[in-house]
Structure 1
Amino acid sequence: MVGDLATEFEAERGHLMAVAYRMLGSRSEAEDAVQETWLRYAGALADPSTRAEIRQLRAWLTTTCSRICLDVLRSARVRRETYPGQWLPEPVVTAVPATDGFAPDPAERAVRTDQLGTALLVVLERLAPEQRVAFVLHDVFAVPFATIAEVLGTTPAAARQLASRARRTVTGPDVPRHTADLAEQQRVLAAFTAAVESGELDRLIRVLAPDVVLVGDSGGHFPAARRPVVGADAVARFILGLFGQADRYSGRLLARPALVNGALGWQLETVHRDGRPVRLVIGFAVHGGRITGVFNQLNPEKLADLPEFGPEDIWPLRW
């Protein structure tokens, strides 16, 4: 029986991780939530008569996991208020697809990466826990409002209103848009890389949207901007200063393209002036042929499981 339960659960683990990660913005917290879901599943469904009452396993697991995430979000608000500096999610970093993987794909266009990337996770932090759960379940995973109401302990009408308010925040005018497919992201980031390498301010500004925003999260471990850097000129100067410092500190900068939460980004490593290694993952939002958001994650507590660099992964980046 336990083996059957485990097999059924493992078939849904990827879905539950996707739900929990988008709700919590933390891989470690998402993993804990999924593990707690397994414990509740095994406890509730070990009885065959109880198991027979569950008609849709994915729906039951999603509801249970969402309730766990809601409790975590409510407690996390206090921790986030005392977090040193700006907060960014733990990035999910994977390999860039083969060259032909950059080709526009109809399915990818239909999904739209603004429902998957770092930009969305950042703006979700503005939402109340109930709004975040309602939005993620309905707008990202198409869960009906009747089920969302069960998770939140409210009515379907109230759940719909929570999702609607969240949607207005997520699509607000000050939120970095990210609508580009991988092919467009590759073109824009190649131009961005060349501009950074050249050190030419005007060239870099042309790749940035006028209202581009840069957010940096060091968790207090390294110097970082305490507030978002806004505007093409300010962001360009910040980036050129950052890469100039990295060069002075080490004379050698490891770098390679990577997928960061499903969108093209950078993975880098250098040495701080005090001798400590510095890992950095940069996520981007791209819209209309320009970069609208830059998200610098350098908190070592959130970068523990990055892929290792190879001997060819040296700055400048190779696309």
Structure 2
Amino acid sequence: MSHDEWLAEHFERHRPQLLSAARRMLGSSSDADDAIQDAWLRISRADTSGVENPAGWMTTVVARVCFDMLRARKARQLAGATDAEPVADPAVADPEEQAVEADLVGVALLVVLETLTPPERLAFVLHDVFGLPFNEVAPILGRTPTATRQLASRARRRVRGAENEAPPDPTRRAAVVQAFLAASRAGDFQALLDLLDPQAEARSDAAAVSMGSQDLVLGADAVAGVFSGRAKGAKAAFIDGNPAAVWYAGGTLRVAFLFTVVDEQIEAIDMVADPDRLAAFAVELIEA
């Protein structure tokens, strides 16, 4: 048997598993078919001399293709495109395709998966559904195994309806802020990334923009870049009971950083420098 025949035989043998994985990651049978075709083109051209587990390797290739497709879909949605597929919407989904998807994935799971970010979705599906270890999933997402584990944990909580659980301990959220400030001061870019949600945002009010801040920064990489090596004068605090950081100059509060922390990751940082808003804040310092 030639190498090409060996590869094609393994691909056909594992096609049902690969197609199932693609459907779960993409939520669409038609997109999954496209992903499998693209994956086969990549697989057929790849060097397989070091492949010891064909099924796991092929699943990884399919996952990379699906991740690219999900990011492209997200980009179209952010750009306001109208061709993104609301796969769980029965008013627009093809009935036959929807029935197949519901049977393979489950209606409830499809709906929840659509609310996840692409990294969360892949981390959850590849680890929880298909059993890939985090050290194999992490390179697909460009994250560390620890960050990938956090993504899967967040996705798992959403799938299990964690939104109905009790709100997290504010002390734990404050600890996330303190860790972020420490990483910022140390210029530890990777530590900042691990603490940030992949879709994290940093927003500044008009007063902060006039001081040199960007009005909007999108994505964990960009936000980490803004804060890496900074925050040397900032102090962790509670503002109106929520985790925050503050910067004083001449004994006067000049800037407040309001953190949105969910599942021990930072989803947003709001920089406030408007004097009227600052004057209305109830600040309780955590760090002296």
Q: TM-score, normalised by structure 2?
A: 0.48
